[in-house]
Structure 1
Amino acid sequence: MKEEEKLYHAIIELEDYCLEWTSEDDLEETVNKRVFVTLEFIGTIAQHSCYSKESTEAVQQILEIEINRSPNNKGESLSNIYQELSMLMVDCTEFITIKSNDEEFYSKKYKIYQDLEALIAITKFLINPCYACKLRALAWLIRRSPYSGDWTFLLSIVASRYVHIVTVHGDPACSSQAKIGNSWLHRLGVFLLKTCSDNNEAPPIELVDLIAAIPGNPTASVKNGKALRMLNYMEAASKPEYMHEQPSEILVGTYLALELLGVIDANRQFEHFNKIEKAVSFYAMYYMNHGCPPSVNKLQNVSELSWLDAKNLMNQNYFSKMVFEYQYKFILHNMHGGEF
């Protein structure tokens, strides 16, 4: 069993251990215990995995601060940690503003960014006892599943457990977040199955369990229609011709992530996301050339989004994330003489 596969199985084993003493009557105490266990686990990851030392130490520091916080100020452990992790993710993107001809400098910093993205997802997954929140914590990792069967395993088993919990106990989704519906879960299952097929890998049994566990509902035809449109788009999409375009499997994975996070309309067609890609590339280049963001009108004209969509897009955290990733891609593109 390779190192990454051992890690994801260990995550599930640790979650099973935490479930033994998870209490719905004392959420704060449960979270505090989970924070302590997660800190120990991240320390183990630092010694035995491919994650960078900088990324593991940064996450450890945040968890240690929360553990050492005064008991009188521990009433919001989850929100405190989530806020600190978000700030950490923003801080690790600041290197993109540094001008350098050293490709290794950018590659090393971007590796830390990718490691932090994964470690933050794992941390949120472990410290939060709510399975709807656990699934959302892994949202951005959906994009990695086409390149790693290990993430497919983890996503499959978490989604499958969520379905079983909903079936037995009803929807446990937080009141502040939208329900994770059967349609989205069905499309996730189809997406992961397609990526397994593309990579000539056998689907993990957890993925089979997920697809089998999703119950039918009165809108089954609508649910199946969305999955078929997604599958047809992935199969029919041509290879990217321009730098701002993503491979269809990454685009669809990103779309599923944003829908899970509740920041994009589930009824939008995938072609709408092509306009978002244009907006990302224009915004990224404009900021790099002028040191300030473009106006809403300029973004609207280039992307062909509506004025309101363009305005709302500029205020979204995921848009900033995509802009950063495009800027990194562009810098490497230039360093390689215009070749990908």
Structure 2
Amino acid sequence: MAVDPTFTSHPSAISPHHHQHTPPIPALQDPCSGDDDDDDDDEQVDEDDEDDCLYDEQQDLFQNELPDFTSSTSSFNRMQRRTSVSAESMTPSSREHRFIKTVVPKSAAQHDRIQSAIQTNFLFRHLDEMQYKDVINAMTEKQVEPGETVIQQGAVGDFFYIVESGHLDCYIDQERVTTYQAGGSFGELALMYNSPRAATIVATTRCVLWALDRVMFRGILMEHTSAKRRMYESFLTDVPILASLDAYERYKIADALESVAFEDGQTVIEQNAVGNNFYLIESGVAVFYKMDANGVQREVNRLTKGAYFGELALLNDSPRAATVIAEGRLRCATLGKKGFNRLLGPVLDILKRSSINYVKVMQSASE
């Protein structure tokens, strides 16, 4: 993972390995990740885990500020994972803090370059199409002259930058460690944390940058989270397996759900494949098929709105027990394995009991 000039912890962990857009840039070990490892494969796994951990923190920071569903104590404790976090508080449902989207005109080419620069960045990797559009629209142009300091090591920063044109040098303790050019980006952790910058960035040529500030970014994500909660509120209330959860627990599940659609005849999961997701049916019909002893695929079950599937593989760390195919258009809300274990803890016993009966039904149907 590339060094972010926003974050200053663990300076001794700097080593020139990874950067997505520019020559090698020092990597900072994040508190979320494990110890450094010399094995390249292990490093890649660590980076993926680090990005996931930072994304979880991003979700906590933004989701927990929605006032109707969060206690101040739990929010405070979660925010202490970092030594310094943003002090702003925004409530998109409040009339006084109603979020107003900003649209800064850009050419199609500029739009594409910005999108290309952010689409592989961990902070933007989980945005949906509308959020991408809002983020790109909100970015403002900044002209920088040669020799001008864009960010200063040790200073508190509020902006994330994408380089439209020009070159900039990155210094840590007055030592140049990398160069940014068109397509490069820096300062992304400023969108999450009110932390001192870990490096100084100085323009070596005339530059054009696109800047996004923390308040705007938080507004975009929190507006989306609020709308998502409203959308899933009634749906989750009607799911029998979640009846024992309180409103706050359902809201946390809503925050983590991702909606996915399948067309008629499309395979959702395949028997014996590795399972990574849990599914709640929003609309449509899911048809279950299981291969019998003669290798013939037989229909064994059908589920509709409010039902769920995919829990067996996650509960037992086993391959998928059946193939699921959409009949007509099928829309599901999905939850990944980490979210499944973390958020469905209160109902795991119920899921396990139900899964035992389900396995018996599947076995008898395939005999």
Is TM-score (shorter-chain normalized) higher than 0.5?
no
TM-score if structure 2 supplies the norm length? 0.32
TM-score for both structures, normalised by structure 1: 0.33
The structure in which a higher percent of residues are strand is 2
Structure with the higher fraction of residues in helix conformation: 1
